[in-house]
């Protein structure tokens, strides 16, 4: 049997196309508690789009041994001196790792180790980022164009948002004197 793929990856826009792609979006209103400057967050229109995620999940969520493929498109923007960023998470099965690949734009991948040491990897077109297990991860768009990135993660990894929403990261990427900088808290 000879078949063509039902899912395609666009290498300029970072978008996935094809059958049964899951799509979700996060607006400013969905991101309560993500940014340190609450007053600045409250001044923004809650319907403002911050990011979209597309996912190709060829097996059911939670199945051991499979892989998922996703695309995230994170808009440029700021909340106070922070940049538009993802919620950030650990994996529910905390030892599960993940790859991110940058398609376009400028980003900061914010990583936090189990002993709460936060570090940053700059993201530019073509950069590949390995996120080890037990490592919290969040992405900020530090540029002026949409940040387009791909991710590949195990189908049994899951997302643990609760830990980050309770304890946060120990550092934030903020615009200081016009430069994106990692500021430890």
Query: Interface with Ni ion by CB under 5 A: which residues?
Result: 98
CB of 109 to ligand PA5, least distance (A): 10
| Residue 88 is a binding residue for ligand PA5 (CB under 6 A) | yes
Q: In this chain, which stretch among 12-20, 37-45, 85-93, 101-109 interacts with ligand PA5, using CB under 6 A?
A: 85-93
**Complex with Ni ion: residue 82 or 98, whichever CB lies closer:** 98
| Residue 72 is a binding residue for ligand PA5 (CB under 6 A) | yes
Quick one: what does residue 86 bind among ligand PA5, Ni ion, none, with the CB cut-off 5 to 8 Å set by partner type?
Answer: ligand PA5
CA–CA separation, 57 and 64 (whole Å): 13
- 162: helix, coil or strand? helix
CB atoms within 10 A of CB 97: 15
Window 28-57: residues binding ligand PA5 (CB under 6 A): 53
The β-bridge partners of 140 are 85, 108
Count of residues engaged in binding ligand PA5, rule: CB under 6 A = 13
What DSSP designation does 142 have?
-
CB of 178 to ligand PA5, least distance (A): 26
CA–CA separation, 89 and 102 (whole Å): 19
CA–CA separation, 174 and 82 (whole Å): 5
Residue 132, CB-side half-sphere exposure with 13 Å CA sphere = 5
**Complex with ligand PA5: residue 72 or 118, whichever CB lies closer:** 72
Window 143-162: residues binding ligand PA5 (CB under 6 A): 151, 153, 159
| Residue 107 is a binding residue for ligand PA5 (CB under 6 A) | no
Q: Which of 86, 102, 118, 141 binds ligand PA5 (CB under 6 A)?
A: 86
Triad 125, 127, 133: Cα angle to 5°: 140
CA–CA separation, 61 and 54 (whole Å): 14
Interface residues with ligand PA5 (CB under 6 A) are 53, 70, 72, 86-89, 98, 137, 139, 151, 153, 159
């Amino acid at each position: 049997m000879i078949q063509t793929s039902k899912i395609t990856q666009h290498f300029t826009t970072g978008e996935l196309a094809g059958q049964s792609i899951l799509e979700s979006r996060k607006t400013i209103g969905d991101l309560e508690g993500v940014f340190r400057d609450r007053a600045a967050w409250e001044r923004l229109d809650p319907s403002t789009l911050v990011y979209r995620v597309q996912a190709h999940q060829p097996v059911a969520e939670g199945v051991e041994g499979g892989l998922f493929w996703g695309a995230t498109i994170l808009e440029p923007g700021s909340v106070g001196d922070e940049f538009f960023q993802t919620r950030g998470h650990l994996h529910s099965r905390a030892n599960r790792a993940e790859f991110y690949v940058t398609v376009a734009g400028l980003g900061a991948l914010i990583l936090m180790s189990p002993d709460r040491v936060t570090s940053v990897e700059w993201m530019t077109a073509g950069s590949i980022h390995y996120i080890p297990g037990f490592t919290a991860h969040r992405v900020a768009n530090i540029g002026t164009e949409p940040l387009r990135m791909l991710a590949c993660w195990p189908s049994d990894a899951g997302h643990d948002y609760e830990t980050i929403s309770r304890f946060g990261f120990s550092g934030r990427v903020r615009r200081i004197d016009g430069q994106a900088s990692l500021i430890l808290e």
